[in-house]
A = this chain, B = another copy of it.
Amino acid sequence: MAPPPPSMSCRIAALFLRVLTFVCLLVSLILLTTNKIEEDIDFETIFKVRFNDIYGYRYLLATTVLGMAYTLLQIAFTLFSISTGNRIISGDGSFTFDFYGDKVTSYLLATGSAAAFAVTKELKRSEPIEGVEDSIDKFLNKGYACASLALIGFVCTAMLSVFSSYSLPKKV
Binding site for B on A (CB under 8 A): 3, 6, 10, 54-56, 59, 99, 103, 106-107, 110-119, 121-123, 126, 158, 161-163, 165-168, 170-172
Which of A99, A106, A115 has its CB near the most chain B CB atoms (within 10 A)? A115
Contact A6 B166 (CB under 8 A): no
- State whether B168 touches A166 (Cβ < 8 A): yes
Q: Measured between alpha carbons, how far is A171 from B161 in the docked complex, in Å?
A: 15
Write the nearest CB–CB distance from A54 to chain B, whole angstroms.
Answer: 7
Return A88 CB to nearest CB of chain B, in Å. 20
Contact across chains for B121 and A118 when beta carbons are under 8 A apart: no
CA distance A103 to B168 in the complex (A): 15
Among B10, B122, B123, contact of A172 (Cβ-Cβ < 8 Å)? B10
Chain B residues closer than 8 Å to A107, beta-carbon distance: 106-107, 110, 158
CA distance A168 to B99 in the complex (A): 13
Closest chain-B Cβ to A30's Cβ sits at a distance in Å of: 22
Q: How far is the CA of A115 from the CA of B115 in the complex (A)?
A: 4
Docked Cα-Cα span, A59 to B119, in Å, equals 12
Among A10, A103, A122, A171: residue with most chain B CB under 10 A:
A122
A113 to chain B, nearest CB (A): 8
A99 vs chain B, min Cβ distance (A): 7
